[in-house]
Each structure stands twice: as structure tokens, then as C-alpha cells.
């Protein structure tokens, strides 16, 4: 019993020494764990639409802005749309440099329900060489009608009742002159001798749509519109011949359609769905041809020539295959009926 305080004191000293010895080790382990955690460098991508109430095919703008760590560079996509909403990068003004953290996109919706500006994914590279991506949030859209919002403005205009036309002396004088003139013409025709009938020239069969389109493409390719940088004239001619071919081959008034209407028509056609990217790229470039400059624009025009020529070849092959399949099916049906 006499040695109990001494034994308690010794145990307390030993516990203090053990705690002091183990404390630095735990601190070092925590520091190592903290040093092994990966550093996080996030970017924030924000998209803002000029309007969220749009009609089918209506053009509107989407501004995309990104914030991130100092020294980082950002890469914006040329297009970020889908089958419901088209989203393409707008060319910057020729008299100003584009902001490295901001881009403007031209957008248009082509569906009645479920339309939304899709997320825009932006890539970045930090000063230390590490890379990554960030994306904006989708923006829901509301498809509205082109009719006036005021119910009174949607009503048809009033139709005035028929108005009577007064008949007087000038009317009867005009009738008499018309009868006299008609009699004179008949008398003159009777006096003339009968002339031999003119043999009608044979009517030449119309040129097939694909042949007409290829000849027009060859003529446009041989012109100097691209080399002389007359891009507006070039794209007007190329867009017109592409639409004329589609109009004749698909038997639809494509020339009278707007670019958005023509794209929507091809999307719903069984043989035209695969042609949508080609026509969309062509008409989009034609809309912004005033911004074209230099050799890059010439190469783009040559690429569109090749794309339209490939569009003609693909559609002709698809139509021939469909015609062959229909003919074989009809032959097989006739054989089964005969048996």
C-alpha cells in the first residue's frame, strides 16, 4: 500500500512519453495523406439564351462564358447541337478579336416538344499542361406559335359585303367597241388563205436531275468564282443547284422553302435523312459567307462542292436500290399469285 502512489506516478510518466513519441508520427502520416490528394482546378461554363420562347426555325443566340484558373486556355466547339436544336458557332466580327473566355452561338429549334439548348462542353488546358473539360447546363425552350398573342389579332378580318358596280354610257360604248373589234378580226381571218400547218418539232426528253446537277457542278467548279474570292456568288449558285436537284428528284418545292424548312423536310423523308448534315452545313456557311476571307474560305468552298456531288451520288444510289427492291417484290408477288 505504501508503494501505490509511486507506481501510479511511474505509469503516468510512461503514458506521457508514449503519447509524445507517437504524436509526431501521426502528424507526418496526415501530412503525407494530404500531399497525395489531387489538386482540383474547376472551370465554370455558363450559357445564356437571348430568348427561351421561340418558334420552329426561329434564329436566336446563345452566349457561352467560361471562368477558370489563371493562365488556363479554353477550346470552344464549332457546333454543339442535336436533332432537336441546332447550335453553331457564330463567326466573330471582322473588326474585333474574340474574347478567349466567351463565344456566341446561333441556335434554332426544329421540334414542337422537348426542345432545349444542349449542354456546351468546353475544353481547357492549365499552365502546368493538365487538361480537362467543363459543360454548361441545358436551357429548356418553349415552342410558341407565330400567331399574335392577342385573341383579337387571331380572328379573321371582317369581309365587306359585295359592292355594286354602276353601269353607264361608257360601259355600253366599250362593249360596242369590243364587238366591232371582234367582228373585224373574224373577217380578216376568213379572208386569209389557209396556211399549211407547221410540223411540230419533236420534244426532247428532259435531262435527268442527276445529270443536270453534275453538269452544273462541273461548270461551277470550272468557274473563277472561288479563285476570285467571289464567295457570295459561288454559294448562291451552289445552294440553288443543290436545292433544284432535290426538288426534281424528290418531287417537292424545295426551291421555295427556307433553309430550315428544307432541312425539316429532308429529316422526315425516308431517303433524305442522311442528307441533312450536308444541306445544313452548306446553308449555314452560305448565311455567313460575308465573313469569309482568304485561302481557308476557298478550301471550304471546294469541300462543299465535293459534299454536294457526294450527296447526288448517295441519293441516286439509294433510289436505285429502293426501285430494285420494289421491282423484285412485285415479281415475287406475281409469281406467288400465278402458282
pLDDT in tens, the chain (339 residues): 445 554 555 555 445 554 444 444 443 333 333 333 333 457 899 999 999 999 888 899 999 999 988 888 999 998 888 888 998 888 877 666 778 889 999 999 888 888 899 999 999 998 888 898 999 999 999 988 766 566 665 555 555 556 666 666 777 777 788 888 888 787 777 776 555 555 566 667 788 999 999 999 999 989 888 888 888 889 899 999 999 999 999 988 988 988 888 899 999 988 888 888 998 888 888 877 655 554 557 888 889 999 999 999 999 998 999 889 888 888 888 888 887
| Per-residue pLDDT at 339 | 73
Cα–Cα distance, 27 to 25 (Å, whole number): 5
Q: Which one, of 110, 63, 65, 117, lies nearest residue 90 by Cα?
A: 63
Q: Facing residues of 106 across strands?
A: 61, 88
| Per-residue pLDDT at 272 | 84
| Per-residue pLDDT at 138 | 94
| Per-residue pLDDT at 165 | 65
Q: Which one, of 222, 245, 241, lies nearest residue 302 by Cα?
A: 222
* Whole-Å CA distances, 187 to 166, 176, 180, 191: 33, 17, 11, 6
| Per-residue pLDDT at 305 | 92
Look-up of cell digits 499552365 = 127
Beta strands in the chain (DSSP E): 44-49, 53-54, 60-67, 73-75, 85-89, 102-109, 116-117, 121-125, 131-135, 139-140, 142-143
Q: Facing residues of 133 across strands?
A: 123
**Cβ(72)–Cβ(125) under 8 Å?**
yes
Cα–Cα distance, 272 to 246 (Å, whole number): 9
| Per-residue pLDDT at 35 | 35
Cα–Cα distance, 284 to 237 (Å, whole number): 15
| Per-residue pLDDT at 149 | 62
| Per-residue pLDDT at 211 | 92
Contact residues for 69 (Cβ-Cβ < 8 A; gap 6+): 41, 43, 126, 127
**Cβ(304)–Cβ(285) under 8 Å?**
yes
Amino acid at each position: 500500500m505504501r508503494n501505490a502512489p509511486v507506481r501510479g506516478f511511474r505509469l503516468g510518466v510512461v503514458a506521457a512519453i508514449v503519447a509524445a513519441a507517437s504524436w509526431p508520427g501521426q502528424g507526418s502520416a496526415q501530412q503525407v495523406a494530404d500531399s497525395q490528394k489531387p489538386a482540383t482546378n474547376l472551370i465554370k461554363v455558363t450559357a445564356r439564351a437571348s430568348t427561351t420562347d421561340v418558334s420552329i426555325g426561329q434564329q436566336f443566340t446563345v452566349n457561352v462564358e467560361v471562368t477558370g484558373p489563371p493562365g488556363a486556355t479554353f477550346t470552344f466547339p464549332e457546333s454543339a447541337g442535336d436533332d432537336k436544336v441546332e447550335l453553331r458557332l457564330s463567326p466573330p466580327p471582322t473588326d474585333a478579336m474574340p474574347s478567349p473566355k466567351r463565344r456566341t452561338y446561333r441556335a434554332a429549334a426544329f421540334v414542337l416538344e422537348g426542345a432545349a439548348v444542349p449542354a456546351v462542353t468546353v475544353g481547357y488546358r492549365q499552365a502546368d499542361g493538365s487538361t480537362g473539360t467543363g459543360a454548361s447546363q441545358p436551357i429548356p425552350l418553349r415552342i410558341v406559335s407565330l400567331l399574335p398573342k392577342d385573341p383579337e389579332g387571331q380572328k379573321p378580318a371582317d369581309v365587306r359585303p359585295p359592292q355594286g358596280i354602276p353601269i353607264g354610257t361608257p360601259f355600253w360604248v366599250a362593249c360596242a367597241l369590243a364587238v366591232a373589234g371582234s367582228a373585224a378580226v373574224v373577217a380578216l381571218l376568213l379572208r386569209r388563205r389557209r396556211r399549211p400547218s407547221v410540223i411540230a418539232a419533236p420534244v426532247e426528253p428532259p435531262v435527268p436531275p442527276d445529270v443536270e446537277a453534275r453538269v452544273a457542278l462541273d461548270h461551277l467548279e470550272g468557274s473563277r468564282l472561288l479563285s476570285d474570292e467571289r464567295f457570295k456568288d459561288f454559294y448562291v449558285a451552289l445552294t440553288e443547284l443543290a436545292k433544284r436537284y432535290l426538288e426534281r428528284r424528290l418531287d417537292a418545292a424545295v426551291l421555295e422553302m427556307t433553309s430550315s424548312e428544307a432541312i425539316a423536310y429532308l429529316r422526315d423523308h425516308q431517303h433524305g435523312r442522311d442528307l441533312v448534315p450536308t444541306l445544313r452545313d452548306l446553308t449555314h456557311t452560305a448565311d455567313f459567307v460575308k465573313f469569309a476571307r482568304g485561302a481557308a474560305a476557298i478550301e471550304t468552298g471546294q469541300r462543299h462542292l465535293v459534299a454536294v456531288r457526294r450527296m447526288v451520288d448517295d441519293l441516286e444510289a439509294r433510289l436505285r436500290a429502293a426501285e430494285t427492291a420494289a421491282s423484285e417484290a412485285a415479281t415475287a408477288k406475281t409469281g406467288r399469285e400465278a402458282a
